Amino acid sequence: EVQLLQSGGGLVQPGGSLRLSCAASGFTFSSYGMGWVRQAPGKGLEWVSSISASGSRTYYADSVKGRLTVSRDNSENTLFLEMSDLRVGDTALYYCAKDRKATPAGEVDHWGQGTLVTVST
Amino acid sequence: QSALTQPASVSGSPGQSITIPCTGTRSDIGNYQLVSWYQQHPGKAPKLLIFEVSNRPSGISNRFSGSKSANTASLTISGLRAEDEADYYCLSYTTSATFVFGGGTKLTVL
């Protein structure tokens, strides 16, 4: 059974940093693209970032480029999202997402449980 | 990258069919077959319904179907059921090597 177990969310002040993790199991992690999708309270889905199966290719939404960094450790079956210079507008539930393909295609067939990031004074 | 355009809400009666359009541009929907659709019930993670415009993952009912014409993709749900009441989102790859969601459509089953 595919499982994506997220950790690392919480409350942070504007300008602060946070690291999200997503531990994967039940599938060959190194064979699939992964990514992050967020949802602000009461709002719609927003694609944040994706990474290819090997980790050689990364993709970012313009709203987070230069502040958020996606990476993966295929030896530890873990996906990361390093978040810096956080803004109030980054407040959202962040989902870890597994793609159906090695090169991300926007076809997320499994989701993490979500982790809440709150940016506030 | 601007969000794809979806109607805020649609409704239908049980047994009827509804279609949710998702309008983009030549820079996204109009240029790629990488269009997918998701269903999200309140408090739950999204669920993949359609990928590559019109393909269904295993386990997804054939009541859900997708299509595309020019810059607009569409999701059709036939034989509406009460459990179909949810939010629906389209997603497309873009020429900027990014992905973009639609704003979401709330489906009400009357």
Read off the pLDDT of residues A93-103 as tens digits, 9 standing for 90 and up. Answer: 999 999 999 99
Tell me the pLDDT of chain B averaged across its residues: 97
Report percent pLDDT > 70 for chain B. 100
Chain B CB contacts of A114 below 8 Å: 45
pLDDT score of B95: 94
pLDDT score of B2: 83
Mean pLDDT of A3-12: 96
Residue-wise pLDDT for A29-86, tens only, equals 999 999 999 999 999 999 999 999 999 999 999 999 999 999 999 999 999 999 999 9
Residue A109 sits at the chain B interface (C-beta within 8 Å):
yes
Residue-wise pLDDT for B31-78, tens only, equals 999 999 999 999 999 999 999 999 999 999 999 999 999 999 999 999
Residue B99 sits at the chain A interface (C-beta within 8 Å):
yes
Residue A2 sits at the chain B interface (C-beta within 8 Å):
no
CB A23 within 8 A of CB A4: yes
SS3 per residue for chain B: CCCEECCCEEEECCCCCEEEEEECCCCCHHHCCCEEEEEECCCCCCEEEEECCCECCCCCCCCEEEEEECCEEEEEECCCCHHHCEEEEEEEECCCCCEEEECCEEEEEC
Q: Does the beta-carbon distance from A62 to B1 stay under 8 Å?
A: yes
In Å, how far from its chain's centre is CA B19? 9
